[in-house]
């Protein structure tokens, strides 16, 4: 099956048919040519009529598109076009676990960046900036946060609940969307839905009082419903003050690997991170798979999968808490594999940060 994105997303054909390469016939104003997808692809067209399976689907005044196929489960697409486009996704996943069938028409000019997963997925990011301005008749320090939600998966999601946990010693001032509830510690929002490829930005301002610690850790946790299943996403922002921490957190990281007894090419990894400090932690686990290993699945799912790069965001690792991540990869060639994992963690009470590394060999 062919997926015509805005305007043409060749990489969907690649991974939905479980092929590393695929071809597609396109007709432009100069010549007809066969395009083969493998890795990255960039194409510019002007005044083109394009056909897929002998059906006219698109008239372009201008198209500038770049696609990067990171693997069978993900690709990134950036495109600008003006004209009329039929957007259609119609496919059945290779494992028969689900299907996509969606069609829309777009008229006008669009500038689009999409990151697609072959499963329901939401990406959450948070940026922050400290400014000074008059507030409550005094010159105050204000933290300005930008929270961005992107539905880069295969299903529309909704409802979506957002919980932002403030750094200690800060106060809610305002936000671009009025919260359903807020207190001195957190604010909560509920959104009806977010369609495939949709993105939403939420701006938040907090007053940094005299009781706030030097380092500020602001966390956001998102639950986007796919039917009765919660697709979780999280992000956090740390503003370091530059001072040496008085009592940094204590984090222990371990990683182990085991070959599947029934399928030696299948490798099971277990990452365990434990908080032995006196404060809850916000942590990030990053894992870079060696060449020759292909990601299969994980529990919990990674926040990001980009080629060989895996990332998990742990927004609330409580004091004494233990978090275990299990994931599976497949070896495509014989050899010895050394797979490292790195952890960065910040104490949510602003008392400091810690880093740790571990590796497994199989």
List strands edge to edge, sheet with 99-117.
40-52, 55-71, 74-92, 99-117
pLDDT at position 137 is 87
Which value, to the nearest 10 degrees, does the dihedral of the CA atoms of residues 195, 122, 160, 347 take?
-160
Pair of tokens at residue 313: 């965001």
Confirm whether 245 is domain-assigned: no
Task: Say if residues 24 and 11 touch (Cβ distance below 8 Å).
Answer: no
Distance CA 59, CA 62 (A): 9
DSSP state of 279: S
Confirm whether 246 is domain-assigned: no
95 shares a domain with 27: yes
* Domain boundaries, position 208: 122-239
Q: How many domains does the chain have?
A: 3
Confirm whether 332 is domain-assigned: yes
Confirm whether 4 is domain-assigned: no
Question: How would you write the pLDDT of the chain (362 residues) with one tens digit per residue?
Answer: 233 333 333 333 333 333 223 233 333 333 333 333 333 334 444 444 444 333 334 444 455 555 554 444 444 555 555 565 555 555 555 555 555 565 655 555 555 545 468 899 999 999 999 999 999 889 999 999 999 999 999 999 999 999 999 999 999 999 999 999 999 999 999 999 999 999 999 999 999 999 999 899 999 999 999 999 999 999 999 998 876 666 788 999 999 999 999 999 999 999 999 999 999 999 999 999 999 999 999 999 999 999 999 999 999 999 999 999 999 999 999 999 999 999 999 999 999 999 999 999 99
Relative to beta strand 199-208, strand 216-226 is unpaired
Give the domain-ending residue among 85, 100, 115: 115
SS3 content of the chain, % helix, strand, coil (to 5): 0, 65, 30
Q: Rg for the chain (alpha carbons), in Å?
A: 23
152 shares a domain with 73: no
317 shares a domain with 275: yes
Q: Which residue has the tokens 């991540």?
A: 325
Confirm whether 1 is domain-assigned: no
Confirm whether 5 is domain-assigned: no
What is the CATH number for 218?
A: 2.60.40.1510
321 shares a domain with 225: no
Confirm whether 320 is domain-assigned: yes
132 shares a domain with 109: no
Give the domain-ending residue among 97, 115, 133: 115
pLDDT at position 27 is 34
pLDDT at position 116 is 67
Nearest C-alpha neighbor of 216 from the set 165, 173, 179: 165
pLDDT at position 241 is 80
List strands edge to edge, sheet with 181-182.
181-182, 186-191, 160-165, 216-226, 229-239
Residues in a beta bridge with 196: none
Confirm whether 244 is domain-assigned: no
Q: Which residue has the tokens 């490292």?
A: 340
284 shares a domain with 327: yes
Pair of tokens at residue 251: 């984090």
The pTM of the whole model exceeds 0.85: no
Q: What angle do CA 267, 269, 274 make, to 5 degrees?
A: 175
Give the domain-ending residue among 216, 239, 262: 239
């Amino acid at each position: 099956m062919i997926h015509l994105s805005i305007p043409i997303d060749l990489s969907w054909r690649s991974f939905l048919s479980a092929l590393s390469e695929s071809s597609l016939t396109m007709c432009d104003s100069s010549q007809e040519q066969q395009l083969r997808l493998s890795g990255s692809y960039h194409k510019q067209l002007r005044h083109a009529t394009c056909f897929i399976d002998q059906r006219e689907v698109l008239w372009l005044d201008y198209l500038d598109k770049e696609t990067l196929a990171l693997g069978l489960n993900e690709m990134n697409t950036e495109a600008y076009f003006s004209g009329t486009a039929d957007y259609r996704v119609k496919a059945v996943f290779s494992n028969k676990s689900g299907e996509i069938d969606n069609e829309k028409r777009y008229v006008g000019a669009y500038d689009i960046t999409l990151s697609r997963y072959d499963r329901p997925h939401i990406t959450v990011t948070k940026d922050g900036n400290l400014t000074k301005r008059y507030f409550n008749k005094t010159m105050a320090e204000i933290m300005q946060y930008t929270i961005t939600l992107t539905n880069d998966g295969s299903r529309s999601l909704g409802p979506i609940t957002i919980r932002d946990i403030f750094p200690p010693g800060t106060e809610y001032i305002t936000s671009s969307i009025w919260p359903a509830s807020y207190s001195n510690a957190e604010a909560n929002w509920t959104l009806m839905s977010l369609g495939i490829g949709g993105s939403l930005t939420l701006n938040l301002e907090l007053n940094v009082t005299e009781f706030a610690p030097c380092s500020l850790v602001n966390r956001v946790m998102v639950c986007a419903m796919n039917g009765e299943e919660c697709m979780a996403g999280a992000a956090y922002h740390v503003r370091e003050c530059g001072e040496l921490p008085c009592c940094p957190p204590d984090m222990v990281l371990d990683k182990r690997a085991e070959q599947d007894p029934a399928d030696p090419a299948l490798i099971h990894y277990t990452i365990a991170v434990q908080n032995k400090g006196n404060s809850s932690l916000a942590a990030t686990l990053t894992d870079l798979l060696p060449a020759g290993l292909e990601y299969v699945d994980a529990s919990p799912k990674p926040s990001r999968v980009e080629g060989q790069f895996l990332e998990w965001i742990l927004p609330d690792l409580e004091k004494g808490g233990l978090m275990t991540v299990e994931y599976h990869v497949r070896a495509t060639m014989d050899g010895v594999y050394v797979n490292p994992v790195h952890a960065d963690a910040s104490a949510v009470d602003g008392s400091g940060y810690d880093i740790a590394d571990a590796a497994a060999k199989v």
